[in-house]
């Protein structure tokens, strides 16, 4: 088995979700289709609620920023002209959400609405989150060795908690010391990793970030965070240069913590 030694200065392991702890197939084949199939009905049912209005306002603001993009779908402001107007508005939000999802965009606005929609599905037991089999045993071991474990995903913190709270392994939320999402910044921006370190109260070089996406690994590394790229079934392929440059693991069990020896 390949073993990757974790540098002694590392006290925090920061985990990506999709492609790292959880198969991309679970996200693409279960979580995302649920949104596409239910977004219209969800908006119709919850439209008058404060939370839904906040989600729509955030999506509208995002749509304004996206106006220059090819195929962007605008969301008009309400004219307050009754039923037809409302149905048009809902359809615009549906079209905007589907357009964003067709590009797998990671905007805070999209991720916030998705998190709110998944809440009901997880609570009703309609979905259980999948984790690779090495994840839970490894995280337990790291924590026993004194490591802190945090999550940094483009999925909203609320969605992250749903996944960890309703997994095929049961409620494993207690295994996580804290969560970060795009509210702290995007995962391809170095500054996000500096802010995460500052929020945890450690230096960036105390963190080891595990992700499947090399653009994220590169941004983290620029901030002096240690990184390893996780290679899982169904993940996007890496170039030969990426395979040479990055430390690669195919299972969390390949990480060796000197402190646990």
Ligand X SMILES: CSCCC(=O)C(=O)COP(=O)(O)O
* Contact residues for ligand X, defined by CB under 6 A: 16-19, 27, 31, 106, 111, 114, 153-155, 159-160, 163, 187
> 10 Å Cβ neighbour count for 75?
21
d(CA 161, CA 209): 19
* Residue 102 annotated as part of some ligand binding site: no
CA distance 84 to 132: 47
User: Could you tell which of ligand X, Mg ion, none binds residue 154, using a CB distance below 5 to 8 A set by kind?
Assistant: ligand X
Number of CB atoms found within 10 A of residue 172's CB: 19
In the complex with Mg ion, which residue's Cβ is closer, 151 or 172? 151
Binding to Mg ion by CB under 5 A, coded x per residue (else -) over 3-42, reads -------------x-xx-----------------------
- Measured CA to CA, the distance from residue 13 to residue 259 in angstroms comes to 14
Shortest gap between Cβ of 187 and Mg ion (angstroms)?
Answer: 8
**If binding is defined by CB under 5 A, does position 212 make contact with Mg ion?**
yes
Number of residues binding to Mg ion, judged by CB under 5 A: 4
Alpha carbons 9 and 198: distance in angstroms, whole number: 16
CB of 221 to ligand X, least distance (A): 17
Closest approach, Cβ 179 to Mg ion, in A, equals 15
Q: How far is the CB of 34 from ligand X (least distance, A)?
A: 11
Q: Per this entry, what is the length of the chain? A: 261
Residue 9 CB: number of other CB atoms within 10 A? 12
Residue 25 CA to residue 161 CA, distance in Å, equals 19
The annotation places the binding site for substrate at 153-154, 187
Annotated binding site for Mg(2+): 16, 18, 212
């Amino acid at each position: 088995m390949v073993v990757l030694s974790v540098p002694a200065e590392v006290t925090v392991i920061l985990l990506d979700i999709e492609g790292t702890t959880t198969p991309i197939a679970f996200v693409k084949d279960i979580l995302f289709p649920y949104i596409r199939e239910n977004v219209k009905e969800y908006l119709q049912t919850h439209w008058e609620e404060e939370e839904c209005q906040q989600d729509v306002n955030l999506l509208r603001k995002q749509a304004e920023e996206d106006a220059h993009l090819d195929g962007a779908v605008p969301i008009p402001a309400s004219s307050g002209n009754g039923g037809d107007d409302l149905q048009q508005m809902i359809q615009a939000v549906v079209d905007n959400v589907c357009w964003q999802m067709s590009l797998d965009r990671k905007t805070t606005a999209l991720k916030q609405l998705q998190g709110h929609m998944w809440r009901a599905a997880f609570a009703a037991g309609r979905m259980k989150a999948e984790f690779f089999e090495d994840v839970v045993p490894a995280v337990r071991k790291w924590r026993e060795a004194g490591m802190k474990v945090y999550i940094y995903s483009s999925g909203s913190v609320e969605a992250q908690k749903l996944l960890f709270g309703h997994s095929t392994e049961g409620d494993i939320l207690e295994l996580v010391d804290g969560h970060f999402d795009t509210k702290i910044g995007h995962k391809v921006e170095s500054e996000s990793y500096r802010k995460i370190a500052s929020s945890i109260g450690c230096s960036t070089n105390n963190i080891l970030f595990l992700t499947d996406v090399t653009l994220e690994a590169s941004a983290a590394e620029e901030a002096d965070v240690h990184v390893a790229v996780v290679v899982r079934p169904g993940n996007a392929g890496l170039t030969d240069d990426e395979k040479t440059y990055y430390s690669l693991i195919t299972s969390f069990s390949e990480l060796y913590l000197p402190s646990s020896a």
